[in-house]
Amino acid sequence: MSGPDKPKVIGEEWSDERVRSFLDIRPWDADENADYHALLKAYQAMRAEDFERFIGFFVAENRDLNAPGPDGETILDLISQHRRSVEYASALEKAGARTTTAAGN
């Protein structure tokens, strides 16, 4: 993280422990799906290669890649709307994630 007293670090290597720590992130709002929230926070914070590692840990914990967000869409629905997120979407698809339209919802 950067801030007034910390220099911004670009290209920092993330350890497995740091990547896995996102599995423990919980939403403040009890109504928000914890799996969707963890995926969203990992997507927002990680480089594509770290996100792909996170997805592996996430699936190994039997977490739901297709958990609905507040609007009923999956994280893949959200990421697919972002032009520069092809690598993130690909990692999700390889792990079995679906969009709500692909799931028939």
5-25: pLDDT as tens digits: 645 455 678 999 999 999 999
Say which residues have a Cβ less than 8 Å from residue 102's Cβ, sequence separation at least 6.
none
Q: What integer pLDDT is reported at residue 101 of this predicted model?
A: 76
38-97: pLDDT as tens digits: 999 999 999 999 999 999 999 999 999 999 999 999 999 999 999 999 999 999 999 999
Q: Which residue has the higher pLDDT, 39 or 2?
A: 39
Asked whether residue 39 is assigned to any structural domain, the reply reads yes
**Number of compact structural domains in the chain:** 1
Asked whether residue 57 is assigned to any structural domain, the reply reads yes
Q: Are 63 and 96 in contact (CB under 8 A)?
A: no
Average pLDDT over residues 27-45: 93
Asked whether residue 42 is assigned to any structural domain, the reply reads yes
State the residue range of the domain holding 51: 16-94
Q: What integer pLDDT is reported at residue 8 of this predicted model?
A: 47
